[in-house]
Structures are given as structure tokens and as C-alpha cells.
Amino acid sequence: MEDLPEALLTEILNRITRTSDLNSLSLVSKQLYKIEGSQRGAIRVGSGLCTAARALTSLCARFPNLRKVEIDYSGWIPGHGKQLDNKGLLVFSSHCSSLIDLTLSFCSCIDDSGLGCLANCKKLVSLRLNSTPQITSIGLFSVAVGCTSLSALHLIDCEKIDSVEWLEYLGRDGSLEEFVVKNCKRINHHDFLKFGPGWMKLQKFEFERKRGKYDSLIAVGGKVYDSSYDAHSMDIYDFCCESLKDLRLAHIKTWPDVGLRVVLGKCKALEKLCLEYVHALNDNDMIALSRSCSNLKSISLWLNLQLYSSDVGYCETRTSFTDNSLYALALNCRMLQIADLSFTGCSRDWPSEIGFTQEGFLVLIQSCPIRVLVLNNANFFDDKGMKALASSPHLETLELILCHAVTDVGMRFIAHTPCLSNLTLRMCHNVTDAGVAELGCVHKLESLVIEYCGEISLEAAQGVAKSVHYSKDCSDALMKTIGFGAY
């Protein structure tokens, strides 16, 4: 190995991706040890990391060209030894001159003074802070001022970050392209309206509110939302977000203040939209979005029960949107390929509190080239809908969860969908072995997933598709999907 040219050894190392293999290979010879160290661009460390300054300096010398560092203390207990502290982070930031991507997870010994050391990382492009309990807005402001190349910022479970001075500063600079804030209880969705010019360059934005212990799907005696209120008829926020392609809002209450709902009418480049349990939205919000977002390719609507004023003057309990939203999407968003519709807290029988009907839903399906469709507790959807869906020329993936109105008859129809190759059935108790047999007769499916469907046996599912996953139990992941633990 010592006689091989360095360029050839470098090429060999570049083709090896597993860290354990690289570690083993570096023990073969001194030359490989040296080359592998200089080539290593990313490391992930945590419990067991020696935090002495000399050891950290040696680690940085071993890998002088690190570009991506992840420090993760999830699962850490005092018996694992000391965590990386402010002095250790100073060593990393001082010696890793090529660092562009840093993730700090569950680092309880790093506070604002340690975070301020990142000002040394002039090339830092991406910073992720996950459950860093000592970090406050002061430390974040020092990052905003010192890391002038920062374009991606993720804040997750950072409970001490509150003031918006750092947000206003980042907005004035306008360099962020990716901005994710999840479960930071002192950051309100109204704060982002102060981001100002920063919205112009932003391409991905995600905000999920920190949920309280007593939050519920619908509060008895709670606020009644105005179903005719149009937040987009007033130009009260002077900013634009024409570069935004990916938007996710979750668990926020937008009424009576306008808040982030105004963003929905300003995203001309939007391709992916995810709204999860956002309170007070109505058809006017979806209509404004559809008129602006002709490039929309993916939409995910997770809806729960809310109180709305009705056209005849009384209050009704229903989900946020009606068929008017579906008609607007069908008319204006002709590139829509992925649709995920989930309804939580609604009864299993139709008619119910869901604002959509099968007629409106099929208008959307027949107007857009839908490739992937997920329906969760869509009680308006039955075998007639399956028959209409079977004529969809683009549908490749279909997932049905708690769709009790779909039976073996629907399976017979859907089996003949031209491009369908992936089918998932979860908790669809009115589909039996006979319906699965209809799928097997066509021999088209690449994959079939059956989970907690009481009338389908493993024997019936086997051989229906090239890949079959079968479970008779209800997994924790499925429980979350159907709404348990949504709030």
C-alpha cells in the first residue's frame, strides 16, 4: 500500500462512505492514516468524546479539513463523562477553518458565550441547535452578527430564545435561505413578520408552535372563527417572499390577528405546502394561495375540528376548508402531483364535520396530475370515489387510512388504475381477503403495505405484490398518524 501513488489512494478513500470502514482502513498504514484524515469532511461525536482541550486540539489536527460537524448528546447521563463545554466549542471553532455545517444537539453545557465563539467560523453556512437549554437570544444575536455566510438556521426545542432582535438583524441582512423553528415556546408566529427583507431570499420556512399540556383538538366554548374573513384583502404587511418554495406551518392560531396566514398569498414560487392543525384558516386563504402558486406540486392538509360562523348565522363545527378551496386548487394549480389530506376528530360516518365532499375532491383529482395520494379518515370517500380514481392516468402511489367506506368493490376498481404500483391500507376494516385477491389478479403492484386491517390475512396478502409488508397490530407511528397525540 505504501508504494501506491497518493492520488490513487485518495480516489480509493473517496469511494468509501461508511465511517467504520474508513476508521479501519486508516489503521493499515501511516500514509492511509494521513490521507484519510485530510480527506475526512464530516464527523459525528457525542457521549464518550474526550473534552480536554489538548484532546480536542489533537482531534482537529487529525481531521484538518472538516466541513461538517455534529455534536449529539442525546441519551447522555452523567456517567458518560463530561459534555463538550464552551472551551471545547472554542477549540472546534478555532481549528476547523473549513467548517460550513454545525449541529449541536442536547448540548447542555454550552451557553451564549460558547455560541459566540462561532464568530470565528466565517465560512459557516448551516447551524442547527436542537435542545440546547442554555442558549438565549443573546447568543443567537452574536451568531447573526458574526456568521455572515449563514444561509440555513434550525432552532428546535430551544426554550430560552425569546426576543426578536436577532430575527430583525437576520432579516435586514437577508442571507437566510432555509429557516426552521420548532417547539420554541417563547417564539410566536407573529414575530416572523418582523423578518422583513429576509423573506425575499428565503426558500424554505417551517414553523411549529410549542404545544401546551392542555391544548386540545377543539376547545369547548372557544372562539368562533369568521368563515368569510379575508386576510389577503388588506396589504398591511410590506414584505414579499417570492423565492419561497417549501412552507410548513403547524399548530398555530392565526385569529383574531392575521399573523403568518398572510404569507399564503405572497408565495409565487411555492412548490410544497404543509398545513398541520392551523387554526382559523378559511377558503379565502386557500383561494389567495392558489392564485399566487401556479407551481404548487405538493400539498399536505392535516385538519381538525374548529368553530366557524355559517352563512345562515349560526356556528358550525367543521374542518377549515370546503369544496371552494378544492375548486380553486383545481383551477389554478395544474402542476399538483402530491396530495395528503388528513382529518382528525371527525366521525367515521358521512355526512360529518369534514368540509370537503367527494364531488369536490374528484374535481381536484381529475384536474391535476396527482401521482401520490394519501387519505386519512376521509369518510366522504367511498367505492364510487375509487372507481373515479381508477381512471387517473398519473396515480402511482395510494395510501388509505381509516377509510371505512372503501370495500372490496373499491379494490376491484383500483386494481385497474393504469400506473398504480404502490398501495397502502391502514385500518381499513371493510376490505377483506376477497378485495386483496382482486389486486393479485392484475399483477401490477410493486409494493403492498397492510397494517391493522382486521379482515385481511397474511396469507391473502402474500404474493399480491413484489414487496409485501403485513402487520396485524397498530403501531405507535400509526397512532400518531390517525391523530392520537396530535395535540
Q: What is the CATH number of the domain that holds 17?
A: 1.20.1280
Find the mean pLDDT for residues 321-334. Answer: 97
Same domain, 345 and 476: no
Q: Which of 342, 359, 381 is the last residue of a domain?
A: 381
Q: Does 438 lie in the same domain as 453? A: yes
| Predicted TM-score (pTM) of this structure | 0.90
Q: Which residues pair with 398 in a beta bridge?
A: 373, 423
Domain shared by 247 and 377, yes or no? yes
Q: Could you tell me which residue, 175 or 221, shows the higher pLDDT?
A: 175
pLDDT of residue 221: 47
Residue 434 sits in the same domain as residue 483: yes
Mean pLDDT of the residues in the chain? 89
Residue 450 forms part of a structural domain: yes
* Most confident of the ranges 52-61, 357-366, 435-444: 357-366
Residue 21 pLDDT grade (very low, low, confident, very high; cuts 50, 70, 90):
confident
pLDDT at 424: 98
Q: How many CB atoms within 10 Å of residue 478?
A: 17
Domain-ending residue, one of 337, 359, 381: 381
Residue 206 maps to a domain: no
Write down which residue in 381, 405, 426 finishes a domain. 381
In the predicted model, is pLDDT for residue 289 greater than 60? yes
Does any domain span residue 209?
no
Confidence category of residue 220, pLDDT binned at 50, 70, 90: very low
Please report which confidence band the pLDDT of residue 214 belongs to, taking 50, 70 and 90 as the band edges.
Answer: very low
How close are the terminal C-alpha atoms of the chain, in Å? 59
Share of the chain above pLDDT 70, in %: 92
**285 and 375 share a domain?**
yes
Closest CA to 246 of 230, 270, 262, 224: 270
Mean pLDDT of 447-473: 95
What are the tens digits of pLDDT across the range 89-144? 999 899 988 999 999 999 999 999 999 999 889 999 999 999 999 999 999 999 99
- Do 415 and 483 share a domain, yes or no? yes
The number of CA neighbours under 13 Å toward the Cβ of 276 is 18
| In-domain check, residue 30 | yes
In the numeric block, which cell numbers belong to residue 159? Answer: 426554550
Same domain, 244 and 343: yes
Domain with residue 393: its CATH number is 3.80.10.10
- Report residue 298 as a C-alpha cell: 405538493
Are 395 and 365 within one domain? no
Q: How far is CA 433 from CA 385, 407, 443, in A?
A: 21, 11, 16
Cα separation, 355 vs 336, in Å, equals: 20
Q: Give me the domain span that covers residue 454.
A: 389-487
Q: What's the rounded mean pLDDT across residues 261-272?
A: 93
Residues 6+ apart with CB under 8 A from 416: 390, 442
pLDDT at position 408 is 97
Beta bridge partners of residue 179, listed in sequence order: 153, 205
Cα–Cα nearest to 157, from 191, 134, 176: 134
Q: Are residues 33 and 68 in the same domain?
A: no
Q: Quick one: 99 and 181 in the same domain?
A: yes
Residues 35 and 49 in one domain: no
DSSP result, 164-208: SHHHHHHHHHT--SEEEEES-TT--GGGGGGGTTHHHH--EEEEE
Contact 163, 186 (CB under 8 A): no
Residues in a beta bridge with 298: 272, 338
Inside any domain, residue 396: yes
Instruction: State the total domains in the chain.
Output: 4
- Same domain as 152, residue 28: no
